[in-house]
Chain A
Amino acid sequence: MRVTIDTERCIAAGQCVLSAPDVFDQSEDDGMVVLLNPSPPDELVADVKQAAALCPALAIMVEG
């Protein structure tokens, strides 16, 4: 699985961190998404897909 983020779309909702805290974080200053791991392991795939589905700004893209 390959994860990419669109920081221009990100609205700092933090839903991704709630869904997959090992893959996403938020920056200290403005809360924008920080991608911790662009190639998450299999056991996190469901959580990352959940994060992508829930992101209210459509800022997370998942391939594979």
Chain B
Amino acid sequence: MFERVVIVGASAAGLTTAEQLRRRGYDGTLTLIGDEPHRPYDRPPLSKQVLAGTWEPEKVLLRNEAALAELDAELLLGHAAVELDAAGRKVVLADGRAVGYDALVIATGVSPRRLPGADLAGVHVLRTLDDALALRAALLDRPKVVVVGAGFLGAEAAAVARGMGLDVTVVDPLQAPLQRQLGERIGALVARMHRDHGVGMLLGTGVSRFVEAAGRVVGLELADGSTIDADLVLVAVGAAPATGWLTGSGLSLDNGVDCDSFCHAGSDIYAAGDVASWQNPHFGVRMRLEHRMNATEQGIAVAGNLLGDNQAFAPVPYFWTDQFDTKIQAYGIFPTGSDIQIVSGDPGERRFVAAYGWNGTVTGVLGWNSPREVRTLRQLVADRVAWSTLSIPSAVSALAAC
């Protein structure tokens, strides 16, 4: 049994790991290190309610003071970890302090990717609470907005900005928003939804450079040679695992912190949340997920394995996105090149569930304004139902009803 557990990363995954350790009876010392000064907070509302101004910023805090005190942990907030000495079993912080451990959990998440030449006034990224508040304040000046990148974050932020009545354009080199995550067919529906709400969609062309005047962004030049005006640019081109501080630690860092199916990265070091890649035995593939739900589930799994559960982490992932009045929810994985079939509802009525098949098995179900149906049809993924079975509609409803 370990007596000193140190968790680096004080967001959803790190906090969940800490809480689950205590819930399960761990009574050794616990240290939670976070690079932001804020108490642990939740990120999904940042690009939704916080950006829209419908929630006060305090509402994103994951726990109140009393709950954090109950955790009986040393909270080192506003302290970035800068080095891991795995042989000496210690984490070095930016102020030079070394924190020793018996077991280490890495939950440092991801950092937004940036674009060259984007270091200008008026250019934003969105990852932290401070980012969200700065972007919200800037949107209140009613700028002409360009969102670079049509992934979940870009699409959600574009929807919020458009909901504020702003002139919004989304630019992405791919042919459809969310294409990388959900494929072309669903991506086309997302594009139509945005266009129906008045968002300009410049798809199939990337950004070649930022146009500036006196240090402030005034537009973008696109790969096709055209230019568009912008008072504000949100760069939402994905994020990279925050593993810079682990360079030289000896850990494998090909895709975040590379773990085995037990979320173990080596030498009593585990990883959880956005930063961790691991072999998911349910699908037989290595994955790294930047989903809110995974942060919780993986934190719980890591706490269990620290306490000797010796259980592989084999979840059916869940994620969602809210854009305008549409709720998209998904269970499973959605590899590029998957087959896709509508198994419930009708896309024309903006209410349906699509199943995704990959290597002959149902690997994902996606609900469009269909929360109950997609939750029920999740069973197709959990049971690894054969894709060929879906050609018989009655069999689908029977399976989903199981």
B-side interface mostly: helix
Interface size class of A (residues with CB under 8 A): 10 to 19
Q: Which residues of chain B come closer than 8 Å to A14, judged between CB atoms?
A: 329, 371-372, 374-375
Q: Which residues of chain A come closer than 8 Å to B370, judged between CB atoms?
A: 31
CB distance from A33 to the nearest CB of B (A): 10
Q: Give chain A interface residues in 17-64, CB to chain B under 8 Å.
A: 17-18, 26, 28, 30-31, 53-54, 56-58
Question: Which residue of B19, B296, B374 is within 8 Å of A56 (Cβ)?
Answer: B296
| Number of interface residues, chain B, beta carbon within 8 A | 22
Q: Which residues of chain A come closer than 8 Å to B80, judged between CB atoms?
A: none
- Chain A CB within 8 A of B127 CB: no
Closest to A18 in B: B375
Q: Give chain B interface residues in 287-331, CB to chain A under 8 Å.
A: 292-293, 296-297, 300, 318, 320, 322, 327, 329
Complex CA–CA separation, A12 to B374 (angstroms)? 11
Complex CA–CA separation, A12 to B110 (angstroms)? 26
CB distance from A11 to the nearest CB of B (A): 6
Complex CA–CA separation, A42 to B312 (angstroms)? 29
Asked if A12 and B327 sit within 8 Å, CB to CB, the answer is yes
Q: Which residues of chain A come closer than 8 Å to B296, judged between CB atoms?
A: 53-54, 56
Complex CA–CA separation, A26 to B20 (angstroms)? 27
* Max chain A C-beta neighbours (<10 A), residue from B19, B20, B375: B375
Asked if A11 and B322 sit within 8 Å, CB to CB, the answer is yes
- Chain A CB within 8 A of B73 CB: no
Hey, which bits of chain A sit against chain B, CB under 8 A?
A: 11-15, 17-18, 26, 28, 30-31, 53-54, 56-58
Top 4 A-B pairs, shortest CB-CB distance: A31-B371, A14-B375, A12-B371, A56-B292
